[in-house]
Chains A and B, each alone.
Chain A
Amino acid sequence: MKSDIHNLEHIDNGNDHILLTQEMGRRISMLNTALINVSIANKYSSSPHLLNGSVDLVKHYQRKDYSQITVQDKDENTVSSTYEKEINKLDPKVRTDITPLTDIEQARADVALYAAQGMLDIEDYLASQIAGKA
């Protein structure tokens, strides 16, 4: 099926094409996030505690504040780590050289990578985390 997207009704002039491009971008971005959301929901639905700490990690990651990354383990004990240790685990090329990730490390790494790649809106994610706990 060939797309005739630029022949949509309502598209009458150059401004309309700009609107169309913007709305197409919005939909594509939304679909990418929706795909990640359903993947996270299925991966961690049986063990939501695995996501504990992931948001903190992402916030540090985004601020490039790597000196103190505090996360929680499965038993909700506070664990401090360094950026170097975490980023090594996040980098797939390095992963093979180190001890395999635990489930909780994998969960954090997934979320951090999605956010770092711009595939996950961290503010939306935080909001959904809060909504999910409510």
Chain B
Amino acid sequence: MFLGKIFTGKSKLDISEQKRIAIYRNLLKREAIIGGLIFGPIAKGARREFFCLDESTWVWHEEWNDEKGQKVVRNTRYDVRPTGILKAQNGQDYHKVGSQEAKNLEEAIKTYVERVKKTVYLV
């Protein structure tokens, strides 16, 4: 799972801190599943995760098989700044997104926050 790569640090942290990280990771995993469903149904054999990494960073991870059965992976990272939204895919350079994509992302984030609060955190 893509989220697993975010928390791979081998640590000498105390048990409580390790547990805190594990809990946080678990919450994020749940959010990512709900986030992945915002953009519609996921095809059989495919995987999609969308989640809030921090206050200004959003991650969209998608995996599917192409017509030849080859696995395709696309990682998209959005960096939200006060003056606009930057986007990078599969480790390439960041570029500013257009106004329509920015609006679409905002709508997706609103839906995400609403659904996650309601279904994960019960608020």
Contacts and interface: CB of A to CB of B under 8 A. Distances in A.
Contacts, number: 113
A38 interface: yes
Given A35-B110, A38-B105, A131 B81 contact: yes
Contacts of B30: 5
A8 interface: yes
Nearest to B123: A28
B46 interface: no
Give the dominant DSSP class at A's interface: helix
Interface of B: 16, 19-20, 22-24, 26-28, 30-31, 34, 52, 54-56, 58, 80-85, 99, 102-103, 105-106, 109-110, 112-113, 116-117, 119-123
13 contacts: A3-B122, A11-B23, A22-B20, A23-B27, A28-B121, A28-B123, A32-B113, A34-B58, A35-B110, A38-B80, A42-B106, A45-B84, A131-B81
